[in-house]
């Protein structure tokens, strides 16, 4: 096509090349570090996702504080990626840094609780509600363990997920819809099982599809985000969550709500803000202020059912847990985050600045007549390089224009603003300043002026 996301293709190619040259020319130290240090890593990076950034070579970080990064070439960058939510409350929030320093002298991991563990548990219930909690290290693991429990208590095999979802590297959820059939995602590495024996994919916002799947009687749980945040952003339609809750109850499936990203919604997450009532609640990433931790909680009736299964279980491995999970450093950071960082006041600041960002981006989109739109879930803002609203993962996939998005991300970075790779997500932390928001709006506006110049 002559146009990508409404942008002239040749202009896009030219701008991309220029921005890549500009990035590279200004970062001799990052380039040298990546060239020297990369050779021992598979794919030259410590984790292969780092190849998915739009830069020709990685930005090497010197330090990250608040909502600001400094790279080793000395550039200051306003960080709106915030570790893709791990640092949603800012880098190294002071109470968390203090907790880390204090715990560092008292042991890092010992497979036993500390007093802070019980404090963290009380705080989790206070913030998120009445669940019986377990602590894991990643949201991926929390979802995997939640799925085991769901299968154990229902005696059913499958999980229902929404096309285009992401819940971490949970094998079972790595399916997609192809001509109405659930199939393995094509890019999976070393995938030897047919995941459609473990999962059924349905389109988000399609309650009739959900009902058809549940009526088969083999779905243990629906695993969903309250808002689809991982392929563009798709909001639930009116009545979707009520319908999902009613249908899961009617057909005896559990409802697992993964709040790992929608924790941006406000205090207590989307669940508290919108009165969802999941059977299992999962959240990770920023829950311990950036220290690797995740939690999953069972609603009391599910916990009772699980206790009955657990009592019948022969001794041996449960398939749940990892050695370094629920360690003293996590307890200290969870307690500090939940009591001093993830506060209603912090959310109020985030919300206000995020609303400013949303409005500024929407104005720029309108000013340059880009066929795009912008959405927000609390502190999480996403622009989509296609008209909206999107109703499901299929529409979200069609709205994704990697070439245009990568060019724009580089333009923004070369103007001092980092946003998340893969799609167009920006997070506003309590540390994010108004002037940082305004700088991103200005960079976006300037970039669109060039991309959409007549």
In the complex, which residues of this chain contact ligand PMP (CB under 6 A)? 138-140, 143, 166-168, 225, 230, 258, 260-261, 284-285
How far out from the chain centre does Cα 24 lie?
29
C-beta of 256: minimal distance to ligand PMP in Å?
11
C-beta of 31: minimal distance to ligand PMP in Å?
28
C-beta of 262: minimal distance to ligand PMP in Å?
8
Environment class of 82 (CB within 10 Å of its CB; exposed 0-12, middle 13-18, buried 19+)? buried
Cα–Cα dist 94/316, whole Å? 42
Q: Which is nearer to ligand PMP, 71 or 258 (CB)?
A: 258
The string of DSSP codes covering 70-82 is EETT--EEEESSG
**Residues 6 or more apart from 179 whose CB is under 8 A from it?**
none
Environment class of 115 (CB within 10 Å of its CB; exposed 0-12, middle 13-18, buried 19+)? exposed
Contact 433, 447 (CB under 8 A): no
Contact 265, 378 (CB under 8 A): yes
**Listed residue (297, 302, 276) closest to 150, CA to CA:** 302
Q: Which is nearer to ligand PMP, 78 or 225 (CB)?
A: 225
C-beta of 282: minimal distance to ligand PMP in Å?
7
Q: Which is nearer to ligand PMP, 114 or 260 (CB)?
A: 260
How far out from the chain centre does Cα 76 lie?
25
Q: Which is nearer to ligand PMP, 153 or 263 (CB)?
A: 263
Residue 197: CB atoms within 10 Å? 12
Q: Which is nearer to ligand PMP, 243 or 284 (CB)?
A: 284
3-state secondary structure of 344: helix
The string of DSSP codes covering 314-341 is PSS--S---TTSS-HHHHHHHHHIIIII
Q: Which is nearer to ligand PMP, 165 or 247 (CB)?
A: 165
C-beta of 17: minimal distance to ligand PMP in Å?
30
Query: Which residue in the shown chain puts its C-beta closest to ligand PMP?
Result: 168
Q: Which is nearer to ligand PMP, 261 or 400 (CB)?
A: 261
Q: Which is nearer to ligand PMP, 78 or 258 (CB)?
A: 258
Q: HSE on the CB side for 451, CA within 13 Å?
A: 35
C-beta of 321: minimal distance to ligand PMP in Å?
15
C-beta of 238: minimal distance to ligand PMP in Å?
22
C-beta of 294: minimal distance to ligand PMP in Å?
7
């Amino acid at each position: 096509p002559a146009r990508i996301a409404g942008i002239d293709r040749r202009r896009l190619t030219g701008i991309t090349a220029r921005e890549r040259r500009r990035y590279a020319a200004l970062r001799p130290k990052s380039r040298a570090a990546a060239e020297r240090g990369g050779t021992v890593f598979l794919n030259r990076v410590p984790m292969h996702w780092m190849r998915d950034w739009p830069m020709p070579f990685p930005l090497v970080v010197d330090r990250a504080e608040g909502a600001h990064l400094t790279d080793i070439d000395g550039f200051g960058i306003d960080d709106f990626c915030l570790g893709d939510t791990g640092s949603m409350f800012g880098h190294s929030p002071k109470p968390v840094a203090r907790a880390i320093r204090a715990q560092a002298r008292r042991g890092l991991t010992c497979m036993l609780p500390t007093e802070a563990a019980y404090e963290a548990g009380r705080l989790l219930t206070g913030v998120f509600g009445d669940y019986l909690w377990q602590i894991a290290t990643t949201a991926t693991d929390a979802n995997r363990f939640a799925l085991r429990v769901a299968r154990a208590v229902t005696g059913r095999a499958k999980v229902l997920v929404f096309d285009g979802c992401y819940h971490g590297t949970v094998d079972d959820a790595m399916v997609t819809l192809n001509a109405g059939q659930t199939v393995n995602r094509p890019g999976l590495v070393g995938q030897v099982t047919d995941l459609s024996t473990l999962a059924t994919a349905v389109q988000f916002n399609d309650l009739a599809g959900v009902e058809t799947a549940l009526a088969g009687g083999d779905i243990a749980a629906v695993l969903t985000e309250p808002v689809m945040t991982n392929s563009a952003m798709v909001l639930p339609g009116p009545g979707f969550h009520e319908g999902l809750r009613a249908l899961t109850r009617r057909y005896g499936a559990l409802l697992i709500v993964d709040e790992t990203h929608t924790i941006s919604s406000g205090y207590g997450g989307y669940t508290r803000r919108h009165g969802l009532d999941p059977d299992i609640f999962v959240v990770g990433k920023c829950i311990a202020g950036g220290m690797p931790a995740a939690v999953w909680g069972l609603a009391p009736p599910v916990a009772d059912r699980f206790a009955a299964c657990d009592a019948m279980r022969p001794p041996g491995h449960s398939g749940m847990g990892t050695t370094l999970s629920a360690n003293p450093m996590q307890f200290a950071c969870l307690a500090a985050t939940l009591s001093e960082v993830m506060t209603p006041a912090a959310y109020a600041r985030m919300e206000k600045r995020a609303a400013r960002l949303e409005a500024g981006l929407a104005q720029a989109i309108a000013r340059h007549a880009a066929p795009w739109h912008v959405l927000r879930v609390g502190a999480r803002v996403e622009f989509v390089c296609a008209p909206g609203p999107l109703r499901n993962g299929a529409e979200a996939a069609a709205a994704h224009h990697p070439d245009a998005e990568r060019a724009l991300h580089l333009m923004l970075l070369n103007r001092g603003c980092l946003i998340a790779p893969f799609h167009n997500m920006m997070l506003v932390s309590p540390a994010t300043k108004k002037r940082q928001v305004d700088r991103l709006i200005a960079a976006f506006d300037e970039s669109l002026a060039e991309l959409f110049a007549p």
